[in-house]
Amino acid sequence: TENGEMALGKNLLVAIMPWEGHNYEDAIILSQRLVEEDVLTSIHIEEHEIDARDTKLGAEEITRDIPNVSDEVLADLDERGIVRIGAEVRDGDILVGKVTPKGETELTPEERLLRAIFGEKAREVRDTSLKVPHGESGKVIGIRVFSREDDDDLPPGVNELVRVYVAQKRKIQDGDKLAGRHGNKGVIGKILPKEDMPFMPDGTPVDIILNTHGVPRRMNIGQILETHLGWIAKAGWQVDGAESGNLPDWAKNLPEEMLGQESDTNIATPVFDGAQEDELTGLLGSTLPNRDGETMVDANGKSVLFDGRSGEPFPYPVAVGYMYILKLHHLVDDKIHARSTGPYSMITQQPLGGKAQFGGQRFGEMECWAMQAYGAAYTLQELLTIKSDDVVGRVKVYEAIVKGEN
């Protein structure tokens, strides 16, 4: 933010055209420049929380002394058992060490045997540490510890509460979601090297290519007008006859400061009572040339673009201008998910669902029909039995894989 203005997105050079089918169905083509120069890079801070409570078997304890864990795993924990600030962590790493008292019933046969032989009470605690969730990583940037002893306000039964803040830098990548100001949202389908992007007559490659098909039926023409006005604001303009007072008809309603401005000017236009089409056409025709004396974009807001791969001009002029593009909070890293084996539901014995539970993909009734239509009988049999709720079958398959009996 600067001067009280919030910067949520970036002004990018847009070409509105299809490109080899790679921006079909609202997909977006992006220039590698935006990745290299961190134009659409964002920083995300994730909060992880754990509390130590009183249980029936005794109080839980936040500690570095965790059973059956190697020193290697504990390397980044301090003497309290909390990860140090600045540590690089990835999924499965311990953020806060915690042990919970374990009842007699929870002892494994091995532990019972050891107790029978040595007669000593093995430390009856189990590891309930806070770990980095599946698929997350980053750098620890902050820790807050609240405890009863320090008179912090905690819920009943909670003795200690620890919050760990993990930050990560996320560059823009395929599958991330972008949007303009007109509901024109889409997902990045391809990131092209900047030398392959279409370029303007002066050699400037565009930053982003949006498909023309995203406009007609939705009738959000505002995005096209924004693109044109963005180009005018970037290039600067001077209306002919502004000094002499002999203005063209289209410019008669313009306020005085709109008759001429330098490049990189900020322009705002009201929603429904804003710039008219003839005013935009006139302003586009009045834009200032660049250093080489070229105006590049004509009065229709179009430019001759050249294919970055062949250097040949495209057979049609293309609408080019500046559009305000925002990165939305639907990032592919948060959504991508795959499972090999994992947790099963206690009741149905089927795999759990969802990324948070490390679940499987639901193969529903209609998907079964598709399999039947293909005649994929063995695949379907596997999906409905060992990949679902055939407990014995899945154990046997797992054994066969482990023992190498294929």
Q: Give the fold, CATH level 3, of 340-403.
A: DCoH-like (3.90.1800)
Strands 137-147 and 27-31, how do they pair? unpaired
CA dihedral 17, 21, 26, 31 (to 10 degrees): -70
- What pLDDT shows up at residue 5? 76
- What pLDDT shows up at residue 212? 95
- What pLDDT shows up at residue 104? 67
- What's the distance, Cα to Cα, between the start and end of the chain in Å? 61
- What pLDDT shows up at residue 262? 92
164 vs 143: CA distance, rounded Å: 5
- What pLDDT shows up at residue 4? 77
Strands 61-62 and 88-90, how do they pair? unpaired
- What pLDDT shows up at residue 131? 95
Spans of the chain below 70 pLDDT: 1, 104-106, 119-123
- What pLDDT shows up at residue 123? 62
Q: Tokens in use for 245? A: 């007072």
Q: Give the fold, CATH level 3, of 9-41+175-327.
A: 2.40.270
Q: Which amino acid is at 212?
A: T
Q: What pLDDT digit, counting tens, does each position of 237-272 carry?
A: 999 887 887 888 888 888 888 888 999 998 888 877
Q: CATH number for the 43-170 domain, one of 3.30.70.3420, 3.40.50.180, 2.60.40.1120, 2.40.50.150?
A: 2.40.50.150
pTM: 0.83
- What pLDDT shows up at residue 87? 94
Give domain limits for the chain: 9-41+175-327, 43-170, 340-403
- What pLDDT shows up at residue 125? 84
